[in-house]
Structure 1
Amino acid sequence: MPKTVDGFSKLNKLEKIQWLVSAFFNNDEKVTKVLMQYWNTNKVLQDLHDDFIENTISNFYLPYAIAPNFIINGKEYAIPMTIEESSVVAAASLVAKFWSTRGGFKARVISTTKIGQVHFMYEGDKESLKNYFASKKEDLLKVTKEITKNMRKRGGGILNIELRNKTAELENYYQLHVTFNTVDSMGANFINTCLEAIAGEFKKDTTTSFVQDIDIVMSILSNYVPECLVRAEVSCNVEDLYAENSEVLAQKFVQAIQIANAEPHRAVTHNKGIMNGVDAVVIATGNDFRAIEAGVHAYASKTGTYKSLTNATIENGIFKFWIEIPLALGTVGGLTKLHPLSKFSLELLENPSAKELMEIIAVAGLAQNFAALRALTTTGIQKGHMKMHLTNIIKQLGASEEDKAFLIDYFEHKTVTHNAVVEAYERLMQDK
C-alpha cells in the first residue's frame, strides 16, 4: 500500500488509524489497540482534545504531579508540574521543603514588555523614511485603536512604535519595532493582529511616491522578550546550607555556577536543568513551552556567549542564589481555560495574574537548579536520579509487584545502572 495519501484530513479518526496501520504497520491490530486505548471515554473531553490540533489519532499522556511546600513571597503554594523525567518533581519538592524553613523564596517581576516587529526592505533615502515615519506614527497607533480597545481597558496595549535602521546587519533592512503590554494574556494573536494593521497603514499613503519603495516582508511577534523579566532568589546563612562542611560546599556551589558562566558546554546542561522546572509548570498551566525555551536560551546568550541563567554569591557569611529569566506567560486565553487540567492548575495556584505566574515559574526553575547543583557538588547527580529511574527500568522488564519490591530493596545501598538491574532481575527469575 502506498505511504502517501490524498484527503487525509477529511477522514474520521478511525479511518486515519486504519490507513496508518495498513500503510506503515502491515495491518497489525495491536497498533490500533494501542492508539485507541488512549482515547478518552468521555466523548465531550475527547472531542475537546481532538480540536486542539489537526489530524489527531490518539492522545499522548504525560504525568501530572504536584510539588508541595513552596513558600513564595510569604504565600504557600503546591505547584503543578507536567513532565516525564524521573526525579524532577521529587527534587523540586525536597528543595521547596528545605527553603520553607529558611525564609522561602522571594520573587519580583522586573518588567513585562513584549515585542513585535514589522520587517521591511527600503532602498531609498534614509532621512525621507525617517521623516515619513515621524509623520505617520500617530496614524499607526490610531489604526490599532479598535483592536487594542479591550486590552487598554485592562491596562495594556501598545507602548511604543520605533523605526529601526538595521542596514548595518542586512542591506536595505529596516523594521518597525513595537512594544506591548498584554497584561494577563500571552498576547500572540493580539500582537500579530496589531502588527498587520500597522504594516497596512504604513504603506497606505498614496500621496507620497517614495512609499512605493517600501517592501514589507513580514509582520510577526518576537519570542525574544528580554524586557519581560522576572527575578527569584533565596538566601540564608552559609552554615544553614549543609549539615557539615558548609563553607567548603557552599564555595563549590558558587564555583559550579562560575564554571557554567565560563564554559558553554556546561552552561547548556546547567540551563536545561532549570528548564526542567520551568517547562513542567509552563505545560501544566497551558502556556507555550517552545516560545519560553526559545526566549530563555536567547537571553542566556545576550552577552555573545551562552551563560548560566542563575548566579550565586557568598558575602559576609550569607549565601545568596538567584535567577533572572524572561517569561512571556498568560493566565487567560489559549489553553488556559480550554484544557481542564490547565484550568485546574491555575485554580490550584489560586488564579494568579500573569505577573504572579512569572514569579511562580521562575521559582520552580531556581529550585530545580538548586537541587541539581547541590547534588553535583556533593553526592553526584546519578545517585538520586538513578534511584528514581529504578522503577522505570523495573517496569520495562515486566516485573511483578513482588519482584519490584525485592529489587527496590536490593538496590537500596547499591549503584543503579540499567545493566545491573537487568542482571539482578534475571538472577531473581533463575532462583525462582
Structure 2
Amino acid sequence: MEKPKFYQLTKNERLATLVEQGILNQTDAEFLAAAQPLSDELAGNMIENQIGQYQIPLGVVQDLLVNQTLYQVPFAIEEPSVVAAANNAAKIGRINGGFVTESSTRKMTGEVVLVDLGDLKVAQDWVSCNNDLLFEVAQAAHPSIMKHGGGLRAITVAIIDQRFLKLTLQIDTQEAMGANIVNTICEAIAHAVQQQLGGTILLSVLTNAAFEAVVSASVTINPATLATSTLSGEVIATKIIAATDFAKVDVARAATHNKGIMNGIDAVIMATGNDWRAIEAGAHSYAARDGAYQPLTSWQWTAQRQLQGRIELPLPVGMVGGSIGILPTVQINQRLLNVQSARELAGIIAAIGLAQNLAALKALVSDGIQKGHMALQAKSLAIAAGANDRELTQLLPLLLTAPHLNTAIATALLAQLRAENK
C-alpha cells in the first residue's frame, strides 16, 4: 500500500512525522497539538481593548530548497489554496536545483523633516558639515544597538519642494526589524537639529519604503517540469512570460499579480511574528518606485531555453523584538524554519514569494485558477454548512459535480445526504 502523502495525514500524524524527521521536538509538537490560546493576561497586554483571540490555521510548506538548504516553512493563512500551491511550486523549484537569494544591504531608513526654517540652504549646509555631531547624538540615543554592531550608518539631507528640510537616516538594526530603534534615533536627531537651527519638527519616524533592505530570489526551470496533461512545458513557460509582460503594461493585472506573491509572503511574515502591514507597504511602494506600478517578479527565457524567474522587494524582517519574543508559536516556527539570522529569513521569504508567483501563473495559463482553488473551497463550504468528518467524504464529491458552488448548495446537499443516511 502506498504511503500517504503529508497533506493526507491527520494533524497529529503530521506533527509526529515532523518529530520523527527531527524538524520539531516533542515539546513543540505537543504545544501545537494542544492549540493553546494566549493567556488573557498576555493578550490583554499586547493590545488595547482586547476582547478575545482570532485564530487562523498554521500550515507548512515542505522542503523549500534555498541556497542548497532545505527549509520547512510555516504559513499562517486562512485561504484554502495557498499552502497547496506553494508546496507544488517548492517541488518544481527543488527538481530544478532550488532558489538562489541575494541581499546587498540590510538597513532601515528613517526620515526627519523640519519646516519653518529661515534659510533652507544654510540649514542643509549645517547638517552636511555636522554629521559627526549627529552621529554622536544617535549613539547616545540608542547605545545598545551600537554594542550589538548596529546603529546609524549614513545621513543625507535634501530640500523638498522649497519648503521641507529632510534628513534621511540609514540605520543598521541588526537582527531586529527595528522600528523602535529607528524612531528613537530619528527623534533624538530631530531635536538636536532643531536646537541648532530652530524651525518646527514636522515628523521623525521610519519609512516602510525600506529600499536599503531589498532581497532578491531567482530560479531557473526546465520547461519540461511544467508540463500538464493538456499543455507542454514550452507552451506554459511561454504563457508565463507573456502574462508577466502583460502585468508590466496593465496596472489592474499588476495589482493581482503582486497580491498572489504576497499571499505566500504575508503567511510567513505572520507565522514569524513580523509586521505584515509594513512588508505590504514596502513591497507595493517598491513596485511603484519608478512612477508606474509594476510586477515584483520577472520571467524570461535564458540562452539555453530555460525559464528564469526573479523577484526583488524590500524585506526588513526581524528575528528578535516586538511580538517575536512574546508569542510562543512564533518561537516554535523559528525552530521549525531553523534559521540563524534575519538576512537568512528574508531570503527564504523572497523565495516563497517567487514560488507563489510561479504556482499562480502556471495555474492561470494552463488549467485556470479555479480548478485547484474550488476543490479546496468546496471543503470550506462543506464545513461552513455543518458537515462533520464522516459527512465530508460523502459531501465533497457531490459539491464538486454541482452546477454551482455556494453555501446554499452545500447546505441543501448536506440536508439531502443526512436524509438518505437515516
Query: TM tier, shorter chain?
Result: 0.7 to 0.9
1:185 is matched with 176
Deviation of 1:249 after TM superposition, in Å, equals: 1.5
Q: Which residue of 366, 372, 375 maps to 1:384?
A: 372
Corresponding position: 1:138 with 2:132: yes
1:226 is matched with 211
CA contact (8 A) 2:108 2:170 kept: yes
Aligned AA for 1:380? G
2:3 is matched with none
- What is the number of equivalent residue pairs in this alignment? 384
Deviation string for 1:353-379 (max 9, x for gaps)? 110010011111111111110000000
1:201 is matched with 192
2:327 is matched with 339
Specify whether residues 394 and 127 from structure 1 end up closer, same or farther in structure 2 by C-alpha distance, changes over 3 A only: closer
Specify whether residues 111 and 129 from structure 1 end up closer, same or farther in structure 2 by C-alpha distance, changes over 3 A only: same
Specify whether residues 81 and 43 from structure 1 end up closer, same or farther in structure 2 by C-alpha distance, changes over 3 A only: closer
Aligned AA for 1:276? N
Corresponding position: 1:299 with 2:286: yes
2:238 is matched with 251
Specify whether residues 349 and 195 from structure 1 end up closer, same or farther in structure 2 by C-alpha distance, changes over 3 A only: same
Deviation of 1:150 after TM superposition, in Å, equals: 2.8
CA contact (8 A) 1:65 1:80 kept: yes
Deviation of 1:346 after TM superposition, in Å, equals: 1.0
Equivalent residues in 2 for 1:45-60, closer than 5 Å: 45-60=39-54
CA contact (8 A) 2:93 2:355 kept: no
Q: 2:337, 2:389 → 1: CA distance?
A: 35
* 279-288 vs 308-317, greater mean Cα deviation: 308-317
Unpaired runs of 5+ residues, structure 2, are 1-33
Deviation string for 1:228-281 (max 9, x for gaps)? 100111102233332552222210010111111111111111111111100000
Deviation string for 1:393-425 (max 9, x for gaps)? 011111243332112233566676215544533
Aligned AA for 2:207? S
Counterpart secondary structure, 2:46: coil
CA contact (8 A) 1:110 1:231 kept: no
Counterpart secondary structure, 1:204: helix
Counterpart secondary structure, 1:287: coil
Q: 2:344, 2:237 → 1: CA distance?
A: 30
Q: 1:380, 1:43 → 2: CA distance?
A: 38
RMSD: 2.1
Corresponding position: 1:363 with 2:354: no
Q: 1:108, 1:41 → 2: CA distance?
A: 36
Q: Which residue of 382, 390, 393 maps to 1:402?
A: 390
Equivalent residues in 2 for 1:1-400, closer than 5 Å: 45-167=39-161, 171-205=162-196, 211-212=197-198, 214-243=199-228, 244-316=231-303, 317-400=305-388
Counterpart secondary structure, 1:112: coil
Deviation string for 1:72-115 (max 9, x for gaps)? 11111110010111111111112112221210111111321211
Corresponding position: 1:424 with 2:418: no
Q: TM-score, normalised by structure 1?
A: 0.84
CA contact (8 A) 2:61 2:86 kept: yes
CA contact (8 A) 2:80 2:376 kept: yes
Q: 1:58, 1:123 → 2: CA distance?
A: 48
Quote the sequence identity (%): 35
CA contact (8 A) 2:265 2:349 kept: yes
Specify whether residues 75 and 299 from structure 1 end up closer, same or farther in structure 2 by C-alpha distance, changes over 3 A only: same
1:35 is matched with none
CA contact (8 A) 2:190 2:204 kept: yes
Q: Which has the larger radius of gyration?
A: 1
* 58-67 vs 275-284, greater mean Cα deviation: 58-67
Counterpart secondary structure, 1:51: helix
Counterpart secondary structure, 1:111: coil
Q: 1:42, 1:104 → 2: CA distance?
A: 35
Deviation string for 1:131-188 (max 9, x for gaps)? 3223432211111223343323333211111111102xxx511111111111111111
CA contact (8 A) 1:383 1:415 kept: no
CA contact (8 A) 2:112 2:186 kept: yes
Aligned AA for 1:59? Q
Q: TM-score, normalised by structure 2?
A: 0.86
Specify whether residues 324 and 132 from structure 1 end up closer, same or farther in structure 2 by C-alpha distance, changes over 3 A only: same
Aligned AA for 2:106? T
